[in-house]
Amino acid sequence: MVSPNVNKILQNVATLNDQELQELRKLLENRSARQATSTPAQKLRDALVQRGLLEKLPPRFRDPDRYRRWQPIPVQGKPLSQTIIEERR
């Protein structure tokens, strides 16, 4: 049994020209391939975007040198963690 939404989609697909059908085919193939190789974390992000809880996916940083070059910022006084612990008491 096909859902009413699928029936509507099939009716709309029947009205597409060849170029539009090719675009739709590419979109569906990309989505299928992405879902087949998605990790659980990627699937969660996709679900959050689809539900509107995330506006877009944050960019992924793939440059490991960026993390290797990271240096903490020197600050005066006691460590921030110590200040937080004291304020919670």
Q: Where are the domains of the chain?
A: 1-56
pTM (two decimals): 0.37
pLDDT digits (tens, 9 = 90+) for 4-14: 888 888 888 89
- Predicted pLDDT of residue 80: 86
Confidence of residue 88 (pLDDT cuts 50, 70, 90): very high
pLDDT digits (tens, 9 = 90+) for 19-48: 998 888 888 887 777 666 778 888 888 888
> What are the residues whose beta carbons fall under 8 Å from the beta carbon of 46, sequence distance 6 or more?
35, 38
Calpha distance 69→29 (Å, rounded): 39
User: Tokens at residue 20, please?
Assistant: 């539009």
- Predicted pLDDT of residue 6: 83
45 burial level (CB within 10 Å; 0-12, 13-18, 19+): middle
